[in-house]
Structure 1
Amino acid sequence: MVAQSLSSLLQRATIDDHEEVLQSCNETLTKSKNDQQVQHIKAIALLKLDRYDDALRVFEAGGDALQKSAGLEYAYALYKCGKIEEARNAVTQCGPGRGARHLEAQVSYRAEQFSHAADLYEQLAQDNFSHEENDLAINSWATDAQLQWSGEPEYVRHDRPSREDLESFETAYNAACLNIAKGGLAQGEVLLNRAKNICQTSEELTPEDRAAELLPIAVQYLYVLIRLGKTEQAESLLKEISVEDISELSTKKIARNNMVLARQTNINPFILYKALHETPDAVNNDRLFAFQENALVGNSHAADLLVQKFDGIIRSTNKALSKSPCPSTAASTNLLSVYNAAAQAQGQTGQKALKHILPLLERRPKDLGLLLTVVQLYVNEGNTTSAITAMERTLHTLEESISEADQDARFNPGLLSALISLYQLEGRKLQIRSALAQAAAYWSKKPQPPASLLRAAATSLLHSDDRADLATAGDLFKTLCQQDPSDRVAMAGYVASQATLDYSQVESKLDSLPDVGDLVADIDVSALESAGIMPSASSAAAAAAAFAGARKRTASDKEGRAAKRVRKSRLPKDYDPEKKADPERWLPLRDRSSYRPKGKKNKQRAADRTQGGPVSEKAEESTAQSQQKTGGGGGSSSKKTKKKGKR
């Protein structure tokens, strides 16, 4: 009865001090430790006091009954303790309440399921709760920034911040992050300045809160200044950042990383290594996101290479790679393969590095990070053919596998784009068309095929003369039109592919395409004609090759060049520069046109050698007799000539 009375009293109490509530609950639980309501109130008090681990222990001690009756609080405790998977399962069992949807959006954001979090925030914003409007705007802008950074820009909903967005420093900061993720560093700098000014002049913040809010803004601002190359401003900003005052380990690690890189680039590698490893890794709910972790892991391994910790990198990366699936298209896994290869090469590049890495690729033919490292080394050496051979060998190995994961990796759009780029360098148009068509045929059977790959494959097939290729292109463009009816490029491609096959099918769709006059209305034809036509890459390459091959100088080139100076020691003693040299001076004397033989015999021989002159019968007879004596001009005579002796 006492426990029940106290439980009823606690339900009606309005105690603001959570420590007092916690103390009252502990006193009651000493008498009745299985009182579910008191356990529930104790857990809430611990959550209010930010003692999340203690709250989670209360829920675990209460068992399934308490976890179901206080499902929202239990899911929140799991979320704050960094147990994201358990929190996701718990929050889905809480029902469709508004609080549960808010928590599910936060859990999805922390689990890096940003598209799902964006959908939830959009649904919550449609309910028009005015007191939640600012918080929802802040969270939705943050989610869009993460979508852009994680490589999912198609799900981003925000474009430009509104006037209301620029009135809050949190929204302005998140809008700046979105612009930075898109590559708009200049616009990001402007928005960061605005967020900083609003935060500094805010009257709602205490001095301690203001300092805490300005630190992450300064850290992000430092990153932008480094990227923009504004070293002087970055060095002055370093004085405003106190890393030790940052409470979040994730922000502290990022701040220290950026501060180290903002300082002198010729820093001692051992000092750099110590500085990058000084801050411990963040854990639980304060850990870094994947794109942040990849960048910091890369910096850490780069510092390891600078201090020649090759064996340590090989051991750590091998251990991590053994726990990862192979092949893997994850950036984190492939980054480990790259640094593993760099450690195996021990700082060498080119052919020397390939001697160490190629045997690794033979043992791990499905390691995509290792494959791309080999391809990059070949390309740097100008050996595109070997790079293509290496890629085709790995892709053939994946294609022969029956594993669905291997097949997905084989036709991965990123890996395929690398192969297409290599084909383009060598002008292999047929291979490009074949590879894209094969990938499109594979992804067309999947529920959500990548639109960019289908568009590239369909566009490539449009240039084929084969009717089957045109039909395939039409099917791909039709699929794209079904995914996005407003895609005018897909509609134009569908019309172009079917125009020569069956014009009646696309005749009705011509009205949906923009008029040609509207597309070229703002083009200055005269300016284009005066500028000339830029040659394509293939024709420019052919011209360069022809120019490189035509090394021989023509006669006009020789005439245009200055006469070669001859030293006096090589000139004859009676050399006269004003006298024209005999052009036949290099011929034998008897072959010159000025030659006149002396004597009767020489004159007769010269006359006999003259072509086109009169034929002497006496000369023919003497020639015939000499041929009979010598056996017909070449054969030896059977009769021996007797030598004449002395008489």
Structure 2
Amino acid sequence: MSSSVPTLTSLLKQTGIEDHEEILKAADRALNQSKGDLEAQNVKVVALLKLDRFDDAIGVFEAGGETLKENARLEYAYALYKTGKPSEAADVARRGAERGYKHVEAQASYRTEDFRRAAKLYQELAASPEDDAEADLRINAGAVDAQLEWAGLGELSQKKKPSREDLEAFETAYNAACGSIARGELGQGEVLLKRARDLCNALEDLSQEEKLAELLPITVQQVYVLSRQGKKEEAEKMAEGIDARGIPDVSTRYIAEVNKFAASAATVNPYLAQRLVAKDVESLKPDHPFKFQSSILEQNKHATDLQSMKFGGTADSTAKMISKHSAPTLDAHSNSLSVVNAAARAKNQTGKEALKHILPLLEKRPNDVGLILTIVQLYVLTGNSASAIKLLESFLCQLEHSSSAAELDVRFAPGLVGAMTSLYRSAGRRAHAQTESAKAVNYWRRKSKERPAGVTHLLKAAGSVLLESQEVEHQRVASEVFTELHKADEKDRYAAAGLLAASPQTASSSQTASLQPIDRLLSGVDVDALENAGIAHPPTSANAAVTASRKRPAEDALKPKKPKKMLKSRTPKDYDPNKQSDPERWLPLRDRSTYRPAKGKKGKAKQNLYSQGSAPALESEAARPATPAAEVVKGKQPSGGGGAKKKKGKGGKW
């Protein structure tokens, strides 16, 4: 080792330098004497990282070569992460076993959207906190849980509801709010965002500028939630208070500008909107948005293009991007491009006019899931549910006979199974809906280790549908499904209720412990009042929906009914209420018991006509063949009206 190393080490110890700039100068002086001094290089790298000069630190690593990178592997991984290279940082940190490497790898995995790996690493770190601050671990784990929800992997998140500890700091409250918003719980998300804002304002160790910097992301998220809830005026008022220029994060600043423009209640000029959203997302690196954010921003770009009537360019650009993806696929981004492409081809038209332009595309892209669902939706909107069912049935049947595992996953994807089942149920074809649900359940139960997001919800919905079936096999499958779901999560009330409904005889008290007792559910129900109110009949039409809440009172069987009084306008003149009416008055004369046919030959012949299977005598006058019906003759028809002229009588002239 170089002789300058002890000099540098003793210098740093004797002077007690705490300023990183001074440490950097001392390291540079040592390196001027010996460029290959590994210790001085290491000190310089640490000083640069402390000064947030990450690009300069990467330059030192490149100059020092593999020896320095291996000797200061943790610092190198952190420098890669801070310079926008999270994938490389994760690879470097994965080779280390110390706790610091796990922290860097977890942050790098979070940035590369490998949320499964990040969640696993934070679970390992939280299991033995050691010298780490538990609050920091809780904050990072909460952020990972929120991203799992956004990515459709909510079953992997550790928390579904915020704990008391999460409501004690504004960072954890904000992460809990993001998780609620990702699950669609906008009301709870709004409450948690207000809580995070109040906690941030109450901090005394932050300056006013630091508080404003922390409040800006919270405000941007509040604008989004208010807009989604339809509270346009509140969203616009809050958006006016956002100074996007003060947001240091580039992607957050851009999202704030877009949300502020979208929340405006004034009529939006589509050309100005297009100018705003036309920014390339790649230009926002290293602070680029996550995948789900980039997808929404790209959809905004296509939407403004359609509003600006750039149909041809939008159709061509989206078709080019669609051709790069294999079909069929469950990728949400690719399928959303198919919807935009269909809208561009139809030139923003809907209904039957749109179908005329979109149906020819199906011949070119028969396996395009987004295109097929678009056509199905248009069929439903035009009242042609039969065509919608036929189209989706043929597509799923084609995939079902495929030998590809990927295509079979598409065939039984929760969204497609749900769409098919919904169409069947809307058409009253419950048996078909039950068969479809049974197929999906049997498929995913065979692939218990490779289930995508949403399969758990599919199993719950399919189990409920199968419970309505009268077939023994369907009942058995439903019982097995809910038993499996209950074993996976004993606190899941839906699974416990399904298990009780599927097998009430074998369900134990431990399996139904999460359900509320029947006595508590019925504690506020007045049974006598319900009985006296009678049965409410569902409305049979839209007009009857207004009066559906008016219940018909139950009739008292012991109380004699009063005879209805007839209106005078509906009674004959010789009507006598005391006289009993003839019970056969509604029957034809020949069917009444008092009927007697006329006597003689004509009477007998006429009576024979009314007897089934009898033939009248040919000699009888009544047996003459009937006049044949007039035949339609092709030819020239009379131009005027009226029939043939009548013969004049033998008498005098008329």
Establish whether TM, by shorter chain, passes 0.5: yes
Match 2:40 to one of 23, 38, 43: 38
Distance 1:250 1:302 in 2: 20
| Pairing of 1:179-258 with structure 2 (within 5 A) | 179-258=180-259
> Once structures 1 and 2 are overlaid, which stretch shifts more, 76-85 or 337-346?
76-85
Structure 2 equivalent of residue 286 of structure 1: 287
Q: How much is the aligned-residue C-alpha RMSD, in angstroms?
A: 3.9
Distance 1:192 1:287 in 2: 23
Structure 1 equivalent of residue 442 of structure 2: 441
Return closer, same or farther for 1:383/1:11 CA change in 2, 3 Å cut-off. farther
Return closer, same or farther for 1:416/1:31 CA change in 2, 3 Å cut-off. farther
| Pairing of 1:23-102 with structure 2 (within 5 A) | 23-30=25-32, 32-95=34-97, 97-102=98-103
Return closer, same or farther for 1:369/1:64 CA change in 2, 3 Å cut-off. farther
Distance 2:118 2:534 in 1: 51
Distance 1:232 1:470 in 2: 51
Return closer, same or farther for 1:156/1:517 CA change in 2, 3 Å cut-off. closer
Structure 2 equivalent of residue 415 of structure 1: 416
> Once structures 1 and 2 are overlaid, which stretch shifts more, 124-133 or 210-219?
124-133
Structure 1 equivalent of residue 393 of structure 2: 392
- Amino acid of the residue matched to residue 246 of structure 2? D
Distance 2:501 2:185 in 1: 36
Distance 1:176 1:486 in 2: 23
Return closer, same or farther for 1:479/1:229 CA change in 2, 3 Å cut-off. closer
Structure 2 equivalent of residue 484 of structure 1: 489
- Alpha-carbon offset, residue 303 of structure 1: 0.6
Distance 1:62 1:534 in 2: 83
Per-residue CA shift, 1:184-222, capped at 9, x if unaligned?
444444443443344345332234323322222222222
Distance 1:36 1:443 in 2: 56
Distance 1:510 1:427 in 2: 35
| Structure number, greater radius of gyration | 1
Distance 1:321 1:26 in 2: 54
Gaps in structure 2 of 5+ consecutive residues: 546-565, 574-595, 603-617, 626-654
Contact 1:185 1:224 in 2 (8 A): yes
- Alpha-carbon offset, residue 357 of structure 1: 1.7
- Alpha-carbon offset, residue 421 of structure 1: 0.8
Contact 1:56 1:78 in 2 (8 A): yes
> Once structures 1 and 2 are overlaid, which stretch shifts more, 166-175 or 488-497?
488-497
- Alpha-carbon offset, residue 417 of structure 1: 0.8
Per-residue CA shift, 1:202-257, capped at 9, x if unaligned?
33223432332222222222223333444444343334211222221111111111
- Amino acid of the residue matched to residue 199 of structure 1? C
- Amino acid of the residue matched to residue 343 of structure 2? A
- Alpha-carbon offset, residue 18 of structure 1: 2.9
| Pairing of 1:425-440 with structure 2 (within 5 A) | 425-440=426-441
Distance 1:65 1:350 in 2: 67
Contact 1:249 1:280 in 2 (8 A): no
The DSSP-based 3-state class of the residue aligned with 2:598 is: coil
Structure 2 equivalent of residue 108 of structure 1: 109
| Pairing of 1:103-142 with structure 2 (within 5 A) | 103-128=104-129, 132-142=133-143
Higher share in helix: 1
Contact 1:249 1:281 in 2 (8 A): no
- Amino acid of the residue matched to residue 120 of structure 1? L
Structure 1 equivalent of residue 24 of structure 2: 22
The DSSP-based 3-state class of the residue aligned with 2:248 is: coil
Return closer, same or farther for 1:91/1:131 CA change in 2, 3 Å cut-off. closer
Structure 2 equivalent of residue 369 of structure 1: 370
Match 1:453 to one of 446, 453, 458: 458
- Amino acid of the residue matched to residue 87 of structure 1? A
| Count of residue pairs the alignment pairs up | 554
Distance 1:492 1:35 in 2: 70
Structure 2 equivalent of residue 519 of structure 1: 518
Contact 2:233 2:265 in 1 (8 A): no
Per-residue CA shift, 1:482-519, capped at 9, x if unaligned?
433555665675676678xxxxxx75x54445499932
Per-residue CA shift, 1:369-400, capped at 9, x if unaligned?
11111111111111111112221222233223
Distance 1:56 1:179 in 2: 39
State yes or no: 1:612 paired with 2:612. Answer: no
- Amino acid of the residue matched to residue 212 of structure 1? A
Distance 2:201 2:601 in 1: 119
- Alpha-carbon offset, residue 302 of structure 1: 0.8
Return closer, same or farther for 1:280/1:178 CA change in 2, 3 Å cut-off. closer
Contact 1:378 1:386 in 2 (8 A): yes
Distance 1:33 1:473 in 2: 73
- Amino acid of the residue matched to residue 37 of structure 1? E
Distance 1:447 1:163 in 2: 34
Runs of 4+ in 1 over 6 A off after TM superposition: 613-616
Aligned identity (percent) is: 44
TM-score under structure 1 length normalisation: 0.75
Distance 1:53 1:301 in 2: 36
Per-residue CA shift, 1:100-148, capped at 9, x if unaligned?
2222332232233335434433443343558613222322332333233
- Alpha-carbon offset, residue 2 of structure 1: 4.0
Distance 2:436 2:358 in 1: 27
Gaps in structure 1 of 5+ consecutive residues: 500-505, 545-558, 564-578, 580-609, 617-626, 635-647
Return closer, same or farther for 1:466/1:103 CA change in 2, 3 Å cut-off. same
Return closer, same or farther for 1:231/1:351 CA change in 2, 3 Å cut-off. closer
Distance 1:323 1:294 in 2: 16
The DSSP-based 3-state class of the residue aligned with 1:253 is: helix
Per-residue CA shift, 1:395-427, capped at 9, x if unaligned?
233223322211111111112111111111112
Return closer, same or farther for 1:367/1:50 CA change in 2, 3 Å cut-off. farther
Return closer, same or farther for 1:196/1:484 CA change in 2, 3 Å cut-off. closer
- Alpha-carbon offset, residue 534 of structure 1: 5.8
